Chain A
Amino acid sequence: MWDYSEKVMDHYRNPRNVGKIDNADAIGEAGSLACGDSLKLYLKVDNGIVTDAKFQTFGCGSAVASSSILTEMIIGKPIDEVRKITNKDIADELGGLPPEKMHCSVMGHEALEDALKKYYNEVMQINLPETTDKLICQCFDVRESQILEAIKTNKLKTVEEVTNYTKAGGACGKCKDSIKAILNEYWAKQDENKPKLTQAQKILKINKVIENQISPELQKDGGDIELVDIDDNKVYVKLRGKCSGCKNSHITLKIFVEQVLQEAVSNLIEVIEV
């Protein structure tokens, strides 16, 4: 049983703006029958304002809810504002979605993007720049730009998160290495404003951050941390004192230790308890 918010339930029970607009100015499509969900979004645009929007969705409760709320979010809005809507905005407007269902909000965003692209191309005669876009996940037809967009908007760090948000890698799993590579490349790029470190400097820096920033914080609560090993970006640690055996130690590691190290050293750092 999914933990759906009241708003999600309201929208799949009573979806708003269902149907098609016969003389639509743009129709956006996303997903496919084979993949298990698809969406058609119809827009009517007048003087740069979205005057009407309707949708037809084949998909689960959260897919219908995402489509339904999206139409409410864009009707009456200037198109320049509509362009800024992200999948995260859709999910937030719904009061959140279960992690495994985030891809439903991504589908809503993709249909919107597709509709806007067509609107600019066909009605405004403006060609939006085409990106060279590699197909990453063949099972669910997910492209590199979609994965990057999801990583950027939602600050995704793991392959599993990317799968939850985009479906990529969720079936045969063959593209998981490619997703990992995209993640690494993206987060490495985010490190560019940080000082370049050699392997030895990195080790020293990690050691220093743990000693000076992390350890004192944990000691305040009667715990502590010990650096065991560093293998490239993997940092192996042991939790000590009150931290060892604490049922929230996982949260401490991921939310606190890992984040501090990522900020100070590199976004690629992964902290592992041994």
Chain B
Amino acid sequence: MTNLVYLDNNATTKVDEKVLEAMLPYFKEEYANPSSMYDFAKNPHNVLNVARKQVQELLGAESEREIVFTSCGSESANTAIKGTLANNKTKRHIITTAVEHPCVLNVYKHFEKQGYKVDYLGVNSNGELDLEELKEKVTEETALVSVMWANNETGIIFPVEKIAEIVKEKNPETVVYVDAVQVAGKINIDVKNTKIDMLGVSGHKFHAPKGVGALYVKSGTIVSPLIIGGHQERGKRAGTENVPYIVGIGKAAELAKEYLSYEANEIKRLRDKLEAGILKHVFNSRLNTSITNRVPNTTNIGFQYIEGELILLHLSDIGICASSGSACTSGSLEPSHVLRAMGVPFTSLHGSIRFSLSRYTTEQEIDYVIEKLPPIIEKLTNISPYQEELAALKNLK
């Protein structure tokens, strides 16, 4: 295997060495149940609060008591959505967007089957929502508005602070849930100064291990637990606390906050270099995302008249890991719902490749991709049946 160039950090990230180190004692030595009464359980109990504080600071919450630990981003979303609707059985209207992550969209599909009315707000070609449309849609009947902060495929950021204000102005009782999985550790979050009620994150997207997430629940917000049992997590999530993993997400949150300016400057610089390099050297490439207004680590480039899975397989052969919105990679037969909602043309849609960087991405890796990718694309372009269209495209450039 050639050297690995991992550019799929929106899928998952490497666990930070410091995170792993912080976790290990809670497997080997400090294994007590935090609910136990003896001194041996004191430290495992205390570190939960340390971790809660660390996550509180990353999210800019008012109090650490607003943080609930979960097992993943999907659990955070499910708790927020189901926990809200369970408390408000008379209101049966939900608003969300057409470009949410499938883990959220499928929850709404489930509620639609149960008779809920769900409005899916569309986006324009820049991936932006129409806030006027949102305003019109919020009514007395709206139980929940749920919007992602940044999109996993394009990195495009929604103005969630503004959205929460619009919703609350129209109906103060409507609960606002924000899926912040793709922004935690990438841009500054200051949730206490917003009108957001709940916000979910996933540890493994910011260098904690897979298997731990968190949900911010603004104090005063009522949410029914998804898992009923003991009184852990202040009754919002039963089950013996996963101490090592919670320590892990806490440490990862602390580090993520420290790296925020590195993310905004250095990672963005490398991302921009990669993007500019590819767009310059590949005549049939096209940017599938907004130039401004997105998280610093993500780009999405369409290679016209070539299919994405084929590109990924060839990149994988030289050690480059990325992902695609093409139908073939998912086995679903349908290409990315996000890019389709943005009206990305078919020529570019099936050949869309997402590159997502992290603090482990180096300049050499970016140079390697800029050097190795164009000849691969050229080789694959030559297989395409659309040679006339491609020739026309080449003449344009």
Once the chains bind, are A170 and B333 in contact (CB under 8 Å)?
Answer: yes
Smallest CB separation, A97 vs chain B (Å): 12
Cα A9 to Cα B334 with chains together (Å):
23
Contact in complex: A64, B310 (CB < 8 Å): yes
The yes or no answer to A15 lying at the interface (CB within 8 A) is yes
Any B CB within 8 A of the CB of A40? yes
Pick the contact of A33: B314, B317, B331, B347 (CB < 8 A). Answer: B347
Cα-based distance from A57 to B382 in the complex (angstroms): 9
Cα A33 to Cα B335 in complex, Å, equals 12
For A20, the chain B residues whose CB sits under 8 A away are 387
- Cβ of A58 and Cβ of B333 under 8 Å apart? no
Q: Say whether chain A's binding surface is mostly helix, strand, loop, or mixed.
A: mixed
- A256 sits at the interface (CB 8 A): no
Give chain A residues whose Cβ lies under 8 Å from the Cβ of B384: 56-58
**Which of the listed residues A36, A37, A39, A171 has the most CB atoms from chain B within 10 Å of its own CB?**
A36
Provide the residues of chain A in CB contact with B308, threshold 8 Å.
60
B331 x A58 contact (CB < 8 A) = no
Smallest Cβ distance from A28 to chain B, in angstroms? 11
Contact B385 A39 (CB under 8 A): yes
- In the bound assembly, the distance between CA atoms of A64 and B384 in angstroms comes to 10
Question: Given A39-B385, A60-B328, A167-B333, are A33 and B310 also a contact pair (CB < 8 Å)?
Answer: no
A12 touches B313 (CB 8 A): yes
The reply to whether B385 and A58 contact each other, CB–CB distance below 8 Å, is: yes
Beta-carbon contact of B385 and A40 below 8 Å: yes
Interface size class of A (residues with CB under 8 A): 20 to 34
Choose among B317, B326, B334 the residue that contacts A13 (Cβ–Cβ < 8 A): B317
Minimum CB–CB distance for B179 against chain A, Å: 25
In Å, the complex CA distance between A59 and B333 comes to 12
Q: In the complex, what's the smallest C-beta–C-beta distance from A61 to chain B, in angstroms? A: 5
Residue A163 at the chain B interface, CB threshold 8 Å: yes
Contact of A59 with B335 at beta-carbon distance under 8 Å, contacts A15-B383, A18-B382, A36-B328 already known: no
A63 to B380, CA, bound (A): 13
Q: Does B221 contact A (CB under 8 A)?
A: no
CA distance A19 to B385 in the complex (A): 8
| Chain B residues with CB under 8 A of A9 | 313
In the complex, are the beta carbons of B309 and A56 less than 8 A apart? no
Closest to B389 in A: A33
Q: Which of A12, A59, A170, A171 has the most CB of B within 10 A?
A: A59
Docked complex Cα distance between A167 and B310 (Å): 19
In the complex, chain B residues 351-397 whose Cβ is within 8 Å of any chain A Cβ:
382-387
Asked if A36 meets B383 with Cβ closer than 8 Å, knowing A61-B313, A163-B333, the reply is no
Is the CB–CB distance between B327 and A36 below 8 Å? yes
B197 within 8 Å of A (CB atoms): no
Closest chain-B Cβ to A9's Cβ sits at a distance in Å of 8
A235 and B329 CA atoms in complex are apart in Å by 36
Q: A89: CB under 8 A from chain B? A: no
Complex CA–CA separation, A101 to B332 (angstroms): 11
Q: What is the distance, in angstroms, from B375's C-beta to the closest C-beta of chain A?
A: 14
The answer to whether A217 has its CB under 8 Å from any CB of chain B is no
Assess whether B61 is interfacial by the CB under 8 Å rule: no
Give the docked Cα–Cα distance between A39 and B314 (Å): 20
Check if B307 is an interface residue, CB within 8 A of chain A: yes
Asked if A58 and B346 sit within 8 Å, CB to CB, the answer is: no
Residue A64 contacts which of B305, B332, B383, B386 (CB distance < 8 angstroms)? B383
Q: Which residues of A contact B196 (CB under 8 A)?
A: none
A93 CB within 8 Å of chain B: no
B237 beta carbon closer than 8 Å to chain A: no
Say yes or no for A124: interface residue by CB 8 A criterion. no
| Partner among A15, A34, A59, A171 whose Cβ is within 8 Å of the Cβ of B307 | A59
Q: Does A100 contact B (CB under 8 A)?
A: yes
Pick the residue among B313, B317, B350, B387 that contacts A36 (CB under 8 A): B350
On chain B, the residues within 8 Å of A87 by CB distance are none
Closest beta carbon of chain B to A111's beta carbon, Å: 10
- Report whether A56 and B383 are in contact in the complex, using a CB–CB cutoff of 8 Å: yes
The answer to whether the Cβ of B201 comes within 8 Å of any Cβ in the partner chain is no
B385 with A36: CB separation less than 8 A: no
Residues from chain A with a CB closer than 8 A to the CB of B326 are 36, 60
Taking Cβ atoms with an 8 Å cutoff, the residues of B that contact A are 305-310, 313-314, 317, 326-329, 331-335, 346-347, 350, 382-387
The 10 closest A-B pairs by CB, nearest first: A170-B333, A60-B328, A56-B385, A60-B309, A40-B385, A100-B331, A36-B350, A61-B313, A36-B327, A34-B346
List, sorted by A's number, 10 A–B pairs whose CB atoms are closer than 8 Å.
Answer: A9-B313, A13-B314, A33-B347, A37-B307, A37-B328, A39-B385, A57-B385, A60-B309, A60-B326, A60-B328
Additional pairs, 14, CB under 8 Å, beyond known A60-B326, A140-B333: A18-B383, A33-B305, A34-B346, A36-B335, A36-B350, A37-B307, A37-B328, A56-B383, A56-B384, A58-B307, A58-B350, A59-B310, A171-B333, A171-B334
